[in-house]
Amino acid sequence: MSESTKRMPSGTFALLGAPPLISSEDTAGYDELLARICATLRPSDSLEEFWIRDLVDLVWDTFRLRRTKATMLSYRAAQEVRALLINHPDGPRMAQMWAAGDEAAVKEVEQALRSVGSSGEHAISVAMCSSMQEVERLDRMLVSAEARRSAALRELDYHRGPFVQEVRRAIAQAEASEVTRDAPPIAAEAQPA
């Protein structure tokens, strides 16, 4: 039994079932998020326990969608680098190392891309443009998940005013740590110098 399940009342947790995770997702990360929010909020009744679980699931959904968007763009950017370096004898390896965020490879790829009249920024821009429909769809899904989370928080407002303020702080802290911890290497490279 994970730490987070120990912190939630066993009857409530059993009713809620397993967390909605994809098999490759970080169960420990989900459990930590649930544990943090439970520790912060200390639910006082069944309704608050249900809302906490719902909020954690919605926050996790937003994390998943953000990771999906970053991963997709990283993959597409690496494909573009590979295509630009198709005639370079070491192009595929360099593109793979560049996508992994290897610092030496980033410099090597930038130099190789300049030699063909391009840049890493160009590759990322092409990846963004070629993925625009998927990016827009993911953004709509993010807006929807965030709206559902906000609606759940409004319901909590009616039930327990100060409780909601604590939830909002806990979610903001979790989002801040998620953004810094899981930022893909290429996303860091895509920022303007």
pLDDT the model gives residue 8: 53
Predicted local confidence at residue 1, as pLDDT: 45
pLDDT for 150-163, tens place per residue? 888 777 777 776 76
Q: At how many degrees (to 10) do helices 120-130 and 46-84 cross?
A: 120
What is the structure's pLDDT at 101?
85
What's residue 18's pLDDT?
A: 86
What contacts 129, CB < 8 A, 6 or more positions away? none
Side chain identity, residue 163: F
Alpha helices in the chain (DSSP H): 3-7, 10-16, 27-41, 46-84, 91-99, 103-115, 120-130, 132-159, 161-181, 185-190
Parse the chain into domains and list their residue ranges.
3-190
Give the chain's residues under pLDDT 70: 1-11, 13, 161, 163, 179-193
**48: nearest Cα among 33, 58, 64, 37:** 37
pLDDT of residue 190: 45
d(CA 83, CA 11): 55
Q: How far apart are CA 144 and CA 158, in angstroms?
A: 22
pTM of the model: 0.71
Q: What pLDDT, on a 0 to 100 scale, did the predictor assign at position 83?
A: 92
